[in-house]
Structure 1
Amino acid sequence: MDATRTAPARLAAWQRAARELALVAVLFLAYKAGRQVVAGHADLALANGEWVWRLERLLRLPDETLVQGPLLSHELLVRLANSYYAYVHFPATVLCLVWLWLRRPAHYVRLRRALAALTAVALVLHVCVPLAPPRLTALTGMVDTGTRFGPSVYGPPDTDQLSNQYAAMPSLHVGWALAIALALMAVTAGRLRWLWLLHPLVTALVVVVTGNHYWLDGVVAVALLVAILAVLPRPAPDLPVPVSPAGPVRPHVVPAPRRAGHRRNPKVPAAADVRLRPPGRG
């Protein structure tokens, strides 16, 4: 293929990629800036944390301390959980988006819209309902495993200028993990595609074990994502290109039979039936 023809196509592809990266960066910066709006509501966030803890007990949800407690005596497992929380969430999402953008653009657009909508709704909830995580709520009795064992992505809540730690509801770790798992399941064939669900399941366990989220944080994130996906249009299915043993199928024009006694004007083309035949045949 002529290099002069491929150059504009490559330039257009790089321009689309730059626009997508810029869009993701703007959404992320807007989310980080919005979280800082509620950074000074520690007292309200702690009170809401105690309320969520009591509500979970009324709903008979499993006690988060019963999940965290047995792991505290296994430092390696706790460190692995902290590392999964710190280093898997965002890189896994970016890798999934990049792969879908390159291979399945329609599914990429749907996932990007779902993540943007979920993040926007989460930001509204963070502003309206600031919530302290279990590790910062004394009533729970849970341990901040990041601070005790490491690695930790957070500093002291009063001096942390990079993130608002009083924004636990909903859990975007769980919501994003489920979103990318569902997207990958949609483009994967076979029974093994169900293994993608291990990512959100492990994430839900990790965010509780590390004391960063309540069970209800994950439940609300899943409910919001399901509602968002229900209203988003489904991507168009990929249409396979028909191929015959002799090569790709291309249109083959077969003239229509002439009626008896009918003289055709040579200047007017006859009606033709368009049939699909392999090249070199018929």
Structure 2
Amino acid sequence: MPYTANRDRPRWWTELLVIAVVYTAYSSGRLLARGNTESAIDHGLSILHLEKSLRFNLERPLNRLFTDTPALGIPADFAYASLHYLVTPAVLIWLFHRHPVRYRLARTWLLISTMLGLIGFTLLPTCPPRLLAPAEGFVDTMAQYSSYGWWGTEASAPRGLGGMTNQFAAMPSLHVGWAFWCGVMLWRYGRTPLTRTLAVLYPLTITFVVVGTANHYLLDAVAGAAVMGVGLVLAGPALRITDRVRERVRSRFASGDSGARSPIVSGGWKTSTGEHFPGQRTPSAPSPGAADPAGDGAPSAAR
């Protein structure tokens, strides 16, 4: 059953807080899930052997092309080090402003998929091709062209901050996963031919970049797209559960407030003759001949 979108426009400050908390947890989890070097190398070699049995041979020729052609390798390194952190937030902001009704589902899809990727890093720490032994035939283009950018020899981290990244977080490739998400959003909600073109070119470009720079295997890219597919399936149920919990909390607080307040201001107490609460209006004198409130039928005494 598809998720029925909530028509309430999200608040930007709550969205910023949610994304910041999830991304902080994700980044911290990446550092804690570095894994053992030997097992990470074994996993990387196993992926290479599997690709060889499937007759995949894209990584080495593409890596050689980027290594031998600086005009391709240098822009690819810049793309790998920056677009992942620029395009995805830009698409999120665009959705928030232009398609607020669809934003929550899209955001939830992205966050769930990101956390699924963290599970993959934890269960399967994988050495990227660039860190394998030279005999495997890969060259680290990020290290080769590091003098042109802000990154050092440890992935795309700025120089001196290599210890703040997990270099064995290769499987699945969230560079490809996030790019796939951006492509789907641009294709579905974009209204111009340029947007549709970017929706196709951006994920394909990122896939070639991560493979050509030897940061990921081709199967890492496939796994990144697969993780996004699972995240999409889980996003609707996750939002429905969240909305139900929110409604229950609201109704509980609402019922608690109504029970705490008495509908009768005086609480059932009455004033004696001649007394009144502060600020209470004094009733006007009844007209002559009016019935006695006591019910004895005698006219009220004049005041």
Shift of 1:134: 0.5
Tell me if structure 1 keeps the 8 A contact 2:77–2:141: yes
Structure 2 CA distance for aligned equivalents of residues 130 and 41 of structure 1: 8
Contact 1:65 1:142 in 2 (8 A): yes
Residue equivalent to 1:227: 230
**Separation of aligned partners in 2, 1:140 and 1:21:** 43
Distance in 2, Cα, partners of 1:40 & 1:217 = 17
* Structure 2 residue 201 is matched with structure 1 residue 206: no
2:221 paired with 1:218: yes
Max radius of gyration: which structure?
2
Query: Deviation at 1:190?
Result: 5.7
User: Could you tell me how far apart the structure 2 residues matched to 1:104 and 1:188 are?
Assistant: 10
Whichever residue aligns with residue 178 of structure 1, its letter is: F
Q: State the match for 1:143 in structure 2.
A: 139
In the TM superposition, residue 77 of structure 1 has moved relative to its aligned partner by 1.4
Partner of 2:191: 189
- 1:152 to partner: Cα distance: 6.0
Contact map agreement 1:146 1:152 (CA 8 A) in 2: no
SS in 1 for 2:170: coil
The number of residue pairs the alignment matches comes to 223
Contact 1:35 1:123 in 2 (8 A): yes
What is the rounded CA distance, in whole Å, between the counterparts of 1:119 and 1:154 in structure 2?
A: 25
1:174 to 161, 172, 176: 176
Tell me the distance in 2 between the aligned counterparts of 1:108 and 1:23. Answer: 13
1:123 aligns with 2:118: yes
Q: Does residue 101 of the first structure (1) align with residue 96 of the second (2)?
A: yes
Q: Structure 1: which amino acid aligns with 2:141?
A: T
Structure 2, unmatched stretches of 5+, are 1-8, 156-160, 240-303
Q: CA deviation at 1:124?
A: 0.7
The 8 Å contact of residues 82 and 152 in structure 1, kept in 2 or not, is answered as no
| TM-score, length-scaled by structure 2 | 0.68
The one-letter code of the counterpart of 1:179 is W
- Root-mean-square deviation (Å): 2.5
Query: Contact between 1:53 and 1:140, CA under 8 Å: does it hold in 2?
Result: no
